């Protein structure tokens, strides 16, 4: 299995153009079964979860052609509503095919979704919104199934602003017989981007970015759409700059989407400059502790940035307190950081971090996507060499992290097949494929 070797202590300098957003492209790929005609997506990241989504689309009969970040899809040849069990169980966002396949095929069979081990990851809110729109949802053994003549439309209420359940409701509502008002919707940029894609396909959607989204269905046609930059990947490289007293500019990102994270970098003592589509982070002095930090739904501090900030707090000059309010098991990174010499106490959802002078490189293991990225940030700052296993989690969401970090001055390598070669191999599978 690929592993990562890092020689810590090198300052990162330079700039990079960030990959397309994983959490924006995945719901769009679930939506791709809906429009008639050809859809072309550009700036599609070459990452594991996209590869699984393309396998699912191909198994459904969608024609797929993928090369150099440009993805051409056509669902006119769609011939199935069954998501293969072994594919559906590999990632969280496979659950989004429920709404889109019910809208297109009036039936669906899929797996209970997989995803990072950061909590129980229930899907009750997804099933609730589909039922509120008229679907019959049931399980057959380990399969999740549904059927509906046509979604009805109406008012759908979410008790909490679940990103996935909001996306699920949108993917169903665009095929409904009437207008839908979604109350309690998530405000994340990735939800807004899905709405932008569905509007480009012909839907009429208003209110995205607020808690109330109104969807007026219309026949959906293919479109050309560029995937915006990945705000969490951008935040990851900025955190790597902060960890190494570096000076890094990330381009291809809208600073407004990272507002709360940039505020945390500033509270840590970093200098953060920003332009229309770039952010520059410079760290010169010591990292400052942050007395109270909580993860919250957008526009609050994002849970996905928590594992990237934790190693910085571990190196700050004092005590910090961080609450993980979104996922019940997302502070597991603390154990691995403590193996590197950090001093972090975890009490349920609270991490009390006593800053230390430095971390020591050592063998550590990634257990989830962002936790693995957090270990990378820590290893870049540490004294000596680190050996990180579990790279398979990181390649689900990061496009060639070793290559990007090495270009900024990191001394890093990946054993086994590199992400770049794997990505090219994956792309070769879809280059001008006949399906």
Would you please indicate which residues are annotated as catalytic (active-site) residues?
Answer: 116
- Could you say whether residue 397 binds ligand EPZ (CB under 6 A)? yes
Closest to ligand EPZ by CB, 123 vs 272, is 123
Identify whether 279 is preceded by a cis peptide bond (ω within 30 of 0). Answer: no
Tell me how far apart the alpha carbons of residues 143 and 122 are, in angstroms, rounded to a whole number.
15
- Could you say whether residue 285 binds ligand EPZ (CB under 6 A)? no
CB-closest chain residue to ligand EPZ: 164
Tell me how far apart the alpha carbons of residues 197 and 73 are, in angstroms, rounded to a whole number.
14
Closest to ligand EPZ by CB, 286 vs 346, is 346
Tell me how far apart the alpha carbons of residues 345 and 353 are, in angstroms, rounded to a whole number.
6
What part of residues 148-167 is at the interface with ligand EPZ (CB under 6 A)? 160, 162-165
Q: Work out whether the CA dihedral 374, 125, 185, 135 comes out positive or negative.
A: positive
Contact region for ligand EPZ (CB under 6 A) — 28-36, 98-106, 118-126, 255-263? Answer: 118-126
> What b/e sequence results for 81-118 when a residue is b if at least 16 CB atoms lie within 10 Å of its CB, and e otherwise?
bbbbeebbbbbbbbbbbbbbbbbbbbbbbbbbbbbbeb
Binding residue for ligand EPZ, selected from 109, 126, 187, 231, defined by CB under 6 A: 126
DSSP, collapsed to helix, strand or coil, labels residue 244 as: coil
Residues in Cβ contact with 434 at an 8 Å cutoff, skipping those fewer than 6 apart: 63
What part of residues 340-379 is at the interface with ligand EPZ (CB under 6 A)? 369-370
- Could you say whether residue 116 binds ligand EPZ (CB under 6 A)? yes
Taking the CB of residue 422, how many other CB atoms lie within 10 A of it?
18
- Could you say whether residue 275 binds ligand EPZ (CB under 6 A)? no
User: In the bound complex, what is the minimum distance in angstroms from residue 328's beta carbon to ligand EPZ?
Assistant: 7
- Could you say whether residue 394 binds ligand EPZ (CB under 6 A)? no
What part of residues 11-30 is at the interface with ligand EPZ (CB under 6 A)? 22-23, 26
Q: Which two tokens stand for residue 258?
A: 């990272």
Alpha helices by DSSP H, 244-341 = 259-267, 306-314, 333-339
User: In the bound complex, what is the minimum distance in angstroms from residue 121's beta carbon to ligand EPZ?
Assistant: 6
- Could you say whether residue 121 binds ligand EPZ (CB under 6 A)? yes
Give the residues lining the site for ligand EPZ (CB under 6 A): 22-23, 26, 92-93, 116, 119, 121-126, 160, 162-165, 188, 190, 303-304, 326-327, 369-370, 397
């Amino acid at each position: 299995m690929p592993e990562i070797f890092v020689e810590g202590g090198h300052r990162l300098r330079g700039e990079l153009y960030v990959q397309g957003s994983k959490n924006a492209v995945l719901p769009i790929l679930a939506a791709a079964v809906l429009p008639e005609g050809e859809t072309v997506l550009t700036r599609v990241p070459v990452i594991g979860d996209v590869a699984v989504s393309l396998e699912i689309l191909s198994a459904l009969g969608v024609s797929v052609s993928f090369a150099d970040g440009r993805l051409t899809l056509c669902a006119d040849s769609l011939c199935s509503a069954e998501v293969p069990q072994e594919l559906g169980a590999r990632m969280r966002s496979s659950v989004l095919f429920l709404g889109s396949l019910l809208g297109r095929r009036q039936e669906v069979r899929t797996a209970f979704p997989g995803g990072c081990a950061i909590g129980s990851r229930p899907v009750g809110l997804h099933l609730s919104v589909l039922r509120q729109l008229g679907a019959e949802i049931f399980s057959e053994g380990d399969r999740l199934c549904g059927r509906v003549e046509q979604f009805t439309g109406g008012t759908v209420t979410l008790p909490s602003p679940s990103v996935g359940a909001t996306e699920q409701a949108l993917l169903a509502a665009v095929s409904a017989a009437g207008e839908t008002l979604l109350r309690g919707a998530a405000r994340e940029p990735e939800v807004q981007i899905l709405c932008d894609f569905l509007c480009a396909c012909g839907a009429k959607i208003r209110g995205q970015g607020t808690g109330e989204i109104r969807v007026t269905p219309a026949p959906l046609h293919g479109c050309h759409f560029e995937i915006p930059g990945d705000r969490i990947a951008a935040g990851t490289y900025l955190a790597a700059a902060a960890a190494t007293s570096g000076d890094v500019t990330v381009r291809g990102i809208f600073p407004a989407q990272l507002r709360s994270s940039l505020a945390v970098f500033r509270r840590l003592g970093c200098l953060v400059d920003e332009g229309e589509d770039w952010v520059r982070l410079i760290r010169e002095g010591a990292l400052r502790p942050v007395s109270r930090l909580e993860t919250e739904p957008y526009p609050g501090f994002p849970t996905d940035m928590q594992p990237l900030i934790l190693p910085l707090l571990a190196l700050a000059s004092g005590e910090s307190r961080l609450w993980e309010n979104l996922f019940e098991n997302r502070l597991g990174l603390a154990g691995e950081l403590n193996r590197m010499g950090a001093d972090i106490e975890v009490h349920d959802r609270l991490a009390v971090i006593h800053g230390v002078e430095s971390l020591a490189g050592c063998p550590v293991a990634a257990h989830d996507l962002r936790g693995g990225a957090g270990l990378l940030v820590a290893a870049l700052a540490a004294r000596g060499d680190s050996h990180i296993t579990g790279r398979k989690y990181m390649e689900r969401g990061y496009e060639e992290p070793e290559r990007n970090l090495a270009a900024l001055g990191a001394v890093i390598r990946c054993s086994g097949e590199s992400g770049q070669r794997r990505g090219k191999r994956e792309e070769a599978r879809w280059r001008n494929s006949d399906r």
